[in-house]
Amino acid sequence: MSDATAISTALFDIDGTLLVTGGAGAVAWQHAFRELYEVDANIGEHTHAGMTDPEIAAIVFREVIGRDGSEEERAAAIAAYLGHLEAAVNESSGYRVMPGIVDLLTRLTEAGTLLGIVTGNIESAAHLKLARADLNRFFAFGGYGSDSRDRTELTKKALERGGVVVGAELDRAAAIGVGDTPRDVNACHGAGIRVVGVATGSYTVAQLREAGADWALATVESDFPL
């Protein structure tokens, strides 16, 4: 893609790509499980970057509580997590938007590019994280962890919703995903779109390139394929 008209749709991951919350999500999960089960759930010890929120809830039940939670118990845990997330995000001293993101989103919007979210966060959590930096204004649709535990499936759901927004099926050859983990790369390829890997999370440029990213950049400021 050598010119701006080649990209008609761009799907962005949130954590590690658009922003970092400074551990606010982990804090909210800890509060939730302490409130419900009086246990300390250190999310960092049990999960990896790119997991969906439903996956996280299931893993914490299995590895911290010591059993598979029922559907009702997992739903209650997610509700408790959401109940603590907004305060955790707003109080986090480590919250920050990644370099170049606001400028890039502004340029893409001005170029007429359709922007969406593709994230393992359940939908309400995604918007809580974006709200502190007023990033919700850029995104018309998304695919979320509340759609599927499978990142490929939720990416397909995002593309489907994007088609609803414009009134026609999206051209996947003209769509890209932007993410910071190999899971993002695999999900976007599985959904039939190309991927910009950005090394602003837990993985290096070399690791993202090895994972198959079509472009692997240090940040979105580095030769983003506009």
Q: What are phi and psi of 197, to 5 degrees?
A: -90, 130
Q: Which residue has the tokens 């959590």?
A: 125
Q: Which two tokens stand for residue 70?
A: 């029922």
Q: How would residue 47 be classed by pLDDT, with cut points 50, 70 and 90?
A: low
Question: How far apart are the two ends of the chain, measured CA to CA in Å?
Answer: 8
* CATH code reported for the domain at 24-91: 1.10.150
Q: Which residue has the tokens 């204004």?
A: 137
pLDDT exceeds cutoff 50 at 3: no
pLDDT exceeds cutoff 90 at 5: no
Strand order in the sheet with 9-12: 141-143, 114-118, 9-12, 175-179, 194-198, 215-217
Q: Which secondary-structure segment (H or E) carries 20? A: strand 19-20
- Position 168, amino acid: A
Which part of the chain is CATH 1.10.150?
A: 24-91
pLDDT exceeds cutoff 60 at 104: yes
Quote the pLDDT of residue 46: 67
Q: What digits encode the pLDDT tens for the residues 21-36?
A: 999 998 999 999 999 9
Quote the pLDDT of residue 105: 98
Q: How far apart are CA 179 and CA 15, in angstroms?
A: 9
**207 class by beta-carbon count within 10 Å (0-12 exposed, 13-18 middle, 19+ buried):** middle
Q: Which two tokens stand for residue 200?
A: 């602003």
* Percentage of the chain lying above the pLDDT 90 cut: 78
The candidate with the shortest Cα–Cα distance to 222, out of 202, 198, 203, is 198
Q: What digits encode the pLDDT tens for the residues 193-220?
A: 999 999 999 999 999 999 999 999 999 9
pLDDT exceeds cutoff 80 at 129: yes
Which part of the chain is CATH 3.40.50.1000?
A: 4-21+95-217
Q: Which two tokens stand for residue 81?
A: 């997590």
Q: How would residue 4 be classed by pLDDT, with cut points 50, 70 and 90?
A: very low
CATH superfamily of 4-21+95-217: HAD superfamily/HAD-like (3.40.50.1000)
pTM of the model: 0.91
Q: What is the mean pLDDT of residues 41-49?
A: 71
